[in-house]
Structure 1
Amino acid sequence: MRIGRTRRHGTAAVAALVALLVLAGCGSGRGGDESTAAGTTADAAAPAQEGGAGAPGESRDGAGVATDTRVDQRAIIYTGSIRVKVDDVDAAARTATAAATRAGGFVGGDQRRSSDADAVAELELRVPADRFYAVVEELAGLGSQERREIGTQDVTEETIDLDARITSQRARVESARRLLAQATSIGDLVAVENELARREADLASLEAKKRRLDDLTALSTITVTLVGPDATVAEEESQIGFLVGLNGGWKVFLTSMTVLVTVLGAILPWLLVLGVPAGALWWLSRRRRRHQPVEPALVAPAGTPAPPGVSATPPVPGARSAP
């Protein structure tokens, strides 16, 4: 009796834990940020409780852990683009590729258009963040720099938030696995497995975001455009004037004619199938009416007395009859 009662209590406890797990999963399904907010707070509060009031980095007024403001401790995404005019585009492209390789990076993209002095090469270089400015300066020295644009994005807070959410989600996955090992019925087993799969999917999504963020912060992106000596002639011309308007109008005219010819080609089969028979029927009916003989009007011979009640002379239009 005592053993059976113990088993019943154990089954009831597992069922209660499964119910709480399902309810927690439903509540967390309304938003990943809210579901991990408690875990983030707990993870942030745990070091404070262990270290006490004198823990480093904690504000004295109890506002929480202060963020490290040192540049070398922050996660920053560097992006830049530079346009350089060179004498030999292919040689400059090889030098730029070698510069990225020496810095510990690689070439993410390479597009080239070669036409003597009008050659253009566009390279996408991925270099370590600490070598970003050095590589940009080296690229600018390949020739005459025409344009440079550099942008930064501080993602330190996002990185910290992702780390906390990943830690909390891993703890939730482990708790679901422990409950899966304690499940005794088929219903509890299916419910826990579904919840475990959902939590593992959320964890995989968070880890993918973290890997993408780490890649962007570890390797900066530089888009370098290398142009030949005559590549900028057309771009430096005025963008207003008669020739520019004529060029634009001609392009619009060609586009309109292309659309018109396309529409005509689409409706031409219908015209041949329906229009030709309809036109032939209309022409035949008109020709038949034209060659049909006109019947003469019946006129009484001269000297023939008119029937009683009928006037011998036709009435004159507009004349009034005598009273």
Structure 2
Amino acid sequence: MTNRSRYNIWIILGWISILLIAGCGASNQNPDSSMADTSQSQITEIADSKNPNTAPSEKKSAGMAAMMVYQAELSLNVKDLATSQKSLTQLVEKMNGYIVEANSYNQGEENSLLNGNFRIRIPNAKFNAFLEETEKLALKVANRTIQGRDVTEEYIDLEARLASKQVLEKQLLGLMKNAQKTSDLLQIAQDVNKVQTEIEQLKGKMKYLKNQSDFATVTIHMTENKAVLPSLSDNPVSTWDKTKQQFMNSIKFMVDSASVLFVVIVGTSPLLLFIGAIIAGIMYWKKRKGKKDESV
């Protein structure tokens, strides 16, 4: 190597040293201001790199299965509600589902019509099979409604927003460790708390969509189709009972009549005696007058 080449190398190394010293000096002049600028630029940079408004097709993972949320309503006429309810419970357990709500009530003339309502969660993979088996429990399917909703893009959007917030949270925690001023520390702490709250909300929405897509919701209304017919054995009054009842009514009427007659006679006896005495006096006076007329 020639002397001139060595000289050029030393010149280059000297310039590099000068630039490094100048850079270090500028960074040490106002560390708090530099940190604040860095924090703002990093937050903006992260937000731009993780923009949730990116088209779902760009964010969608290759080969990801569609997430469908299914709901169904069935109105069934059954022969016996108690038997059908027992069979339905066994079917739900067989399909690895669970009953969220169940109730029964009476309606119709003299509360003769028995009804039952059930809200059931069934794994999506067994949704159609469950509907078919449930309809077999009915004498008649009065109504059948099925609704489906694709939530794939909604879930992917939440997933992307969650990843963005988690990166931002990590960056803010790093800035918090290096903060030197109290005001900067408090501001960053508020930002961290806000981001963590948003992260929990996103996780909750994703968990809800996942549960809704894993389990379908089926609402079932059952009506017992049982006619209530009168029966001779159910009649509380038989022919012999009617005869005894009529006999007792007759005896009661006679006793009541005798009682009324006795009350009338005893109660009005003074008046009757007075009237009888007047009648007897009149008869006696007429009889004496008649004898006098005959003697004349």
Q: Could you state the TM-score of these two structures normalised by the residue count of structure 1?
A: 0.55
Residue 123 of structure 1 aligns with which residue?
A: 118
Residue 271 of structure 1 aligns with which residue?
A: none
Structure (1 or 2) with the greater helix fraction: 2
- Rounded Cα–Cα distance in structure 2 between residues aligned with 1:217 and 1:225: 23
Residue 15 in structure 1 maps to residue 36 in structure 2 = yes
Query: Which is higher, the Rg of structure 1 or of structure 2?
Result: 2
SS of the equivalent of 2:50 reads helix
Q: Which amino acid aligns with 2:133?
A: E
CA deviation after TM superposition for structure 1 residue 66, in Å: 7.0
Q: For 2:222, which of 220, 223, 226 is the aligned residue?
A: 226
SS of the equivalent of 2:99 reads strand
Q: Which amino acid aligns with 1:139?
A: T
Aligned residues: 201
Q: For 2:183, which of 178, 182, 187 is the aligned residue?
A: 187
Indicate conservation of the 8 Å contact 1:77/1:153, yes or no: yes
Residue 73 in structure 1 maps to residue 68 in structure 2 = no
Residue 204 in structure 1 maps to residue 200 in structure 2 = yes
Indicate conservation of the 8 Å contact 1:86/1:92, yes or no: yes
- Rounded Cα–Cα distance in structure 1 between residues aligned with 2:180 and 2:28: 10
Residue 99 of structure 1 aligns with which residue?
A: 91
Residue 140 in structure 1 maps to residue 161 in structure 2 = no
Q: For 1:86, which of 75, 78, 81 is the aligned residue?
A: 78
Q: Which runs of 5+ in 1 are unaligned?
A: 26-34, 46-62, 232-323
Q: Could you state the TM-score of these two structures normalised by the residue count of structure 2?
A: 0.59
SS of the equivalent of 1:132 reads helix
Q: Residue 74 and residue 191 in structure 1: after superposition, are their counterparts in 2 closer, same or farther (change >3 A)?
A: same
CA deviation after TM superposition for structure 1 residue 198, in Å: 0.8
- Rounded Cα–Cα distance in structure 1 between residues aligned with 2:47 and 2:42: 15
Among all aligned residue pairs of Structure 1 and Structure 2, give the percentage whose two residues are the same amino acid. Answer: 19
CA deviation after TM superposition for structure 1 residue 64, in Å: 4.6
- Rounded Cα–Cα distance in structure 2 between residues aligned with 1:91 and 1:159: 41
Question: Which aligned pairs between 1:287-306 and structure 2 lie closer than 5 A?
Answer: none
SS of the equivalent of 2:174 reads helix
- Rounded Cα–Cα distance in structure 2 between residues aligned with 1:200 and 1:138: 46
Deviations 1:36-85 (A, max 9, x none): 6741579999xxxxxxxxxxxxxxxxx857776x8x81100110011111
Indicate conservation of the 8 Å contact 1:117/1:229, yes or no: no
- Rounded Cα–Cα distance in structure 2 between residues aligned with 1:21 and 1:67: 27
Q: Residue 139 and residue 167 in structure 1: after superposition, are their counterparts in 2 closer, same or farther (change >3 A)?
A: same
Q: Residue 38 and residue 20 in structure 1: after superposition, are their counterparts in 2 closer, same or farther (change >3 A)?
A: closer
Indicate conservation of the 8 Å contact 2:27/2:34, yes or no: no
- Rounded Cα–Cα distance in structure 2 between residues aligned with 1:41 and 1:19: 19
- Rounded Cα–Cα distance in structure 1 between residues aligned with 2:208 and 2:174: 30
Residue 161 of structure 2 aligns with which residue?
A: 165
Q: Highest relative contact order (Cα 8 Å, sep 6+), 1 or 2?
A: 2
Residue 50 of structure 2 aligns with which residue?
A: 39
Indicate conservation of the 8 Å contact 1:43/1:164, yes or no: no
